[in-house]
Amino acid sequence: MNAETKKCANCQSEFIIEPDDFSYYQKIGVLPPKMCPPCRAQRRLAFRNERSFYKRPCDKCKKEVVSMYSPNKPDTVWCHDCWFADDWDPKDYGLNYDSEKPFFEQFKKLWEVIPKVSLIHIRNINSEYLNISADSKDCYMIIESSSNENCVHCYWIQVCKDLVDVSFSHQTQLSYESDDCYNCYKLFYSKGCHDSRESYFMLDCKNCSNCIGCVNLRSKQYHIFNQPFSKEEYENFLKSAHLDTHSGVQKLREEFEKFMAMQPRKFAENVNATNSTGNYIKNAKNCRRCFHAYEAEDCAYSVHVWRDAKDCMDCDTSGRQSELIYNSTNTGLVGSNCICCSLCWGNNFLTYCLYCYDSNNCFGSVGLRKQKYCILNKQYEEKEYHELKNKIINDMKAAGEYGDYYPPALSAFGYNEACVQDQFPLTKEEALQQGFKWEDSPRGTFGKETIQWKNIPDSINEINNLDIPKQIFACALCAKNYLIIQREMEFYKQLQIPLPRLCPDCRHERRFKARGPNRLWHRKCECMKLTDDNKLTTNNKYQNTATHSHGENPCPNEFETSYAPDRSEIVYCESCYNSEVL
- Paired sense of beta strands 360-363 and 372-375, if any: parallel
What residues contact 187, with CB distance under 8 A and at least 6 apart?
A: 172, 175, 176, 178, 181, 193, 196, 197, 198, 199, 200, 202
Residue 1: the pLDDT is 76
Please compute the mean of the pLDDT values over residues 248-259 and round it to a whole number.
Answer: 98
DSSP class of 539: T
Percentage of the chain exceeding pLDDT 70:
97
Residue 537: the pLDDT is 59
Cβ–Cβ under 8 Å, residues 366 and 114? yes
Give backbone dihedrals phi and psi of 509, rounded to 5 degrees, phi first.
-65, -35
Which of 319, 354, 317, 316 has its CA nearest to residue 336?
Answer: 319
**What is the chain's percent helix, strand, coil content, to nearest 5?**
25, 35, 45
Distance between CA 504 and CA 50 in Å, rounded? 13
Torsion (CA) 122, 123, 126, 127 in degrees, nearest 10: -30
The amino acid present at 281, given as its one-letter code, is I
pLDDT in tens, 290-321: 999 999 999 999 999 988 999 999 999 998 88
Distance between CA 132 and CA 143 in Å, rounded? 6
DSSP class of 477: T
Distance between CA 235 and CA 375 in Å, rounded? 65
- 508-514 long-range contacts (CB < 8 A, ≥24 apart) are 508/51, 508/153, 508/155, 508/165, 508/167, 509/422, 511/155, 511/165, 511/167, 511/177, 511/179, 511/191, 512/167, 512/422, 514/179, 514/191
The amino acid present at 356, given as its one-letter code, is C
- CA atoms lying within 13 Å on the CB side of residue 103: 28
Please compute the mean of the pLDDT values over residues 427-431 and round it to a whole number.
Answer: 97
* Candidate ranges 60-69, 316-325, 521-530; pick with highest mean pLDDT: 60-69
Whether the per-residue pLDDT at 191 is higher than 70: the answer is: yes
Q: What is the mean pLDDT of the chain?
A: 95
Distance between CA 377 and CA 397 in Å, rounded? 22
Would you call 112 exposed, middle or buried from its count of C-beta atoms within 10 A (0-12, 13-18, 19+)? middle
CA 230 to chain centre: 39
Whether the per-residue pLDDT at 376 is higher than 60: the answer is: yes
- Paired sense of beta strands 149-158 and 140-143, if any: parallel
SS (H, E, C) 454-497: HHCCCEHHHCCCCCHHHCCEECCCCCCEECCCHHHHHHHHHHCC
The continuous run of DSSP H or E covering 520 comes out as none
**Residues shown for the chain:** 582
Distance between CA 411 and CA 569 in Å, rounded? 37
Cβ–Cβ under 8 Å, residues 549 and 531? no
Which of 392, 378, 365 has its CA nearest to residue 96?
Answer: 378
- CA atoms lying within 13 Å on the CB side of residue 44: 30
Residue 370: the pLDDT is 96
pTM for this entry: 0.93
Which of 558, 512, 514, 550 has its CA nearest to residue 529?
Answer: 550
pLDDT in tens, 344-359: 999 999 999 999 999 9
Please compute the mean of the pLDDT values over residues 450-457 and round it to a whole number.
Answer: 94
Where residue 541 falls among pLDDT bands split at 50, 70, 90?
A: confident
Q: How many helices (H) and strands (E) does the chain have?
A: 12, 38
Beta pairing partners, 537: 529, 543
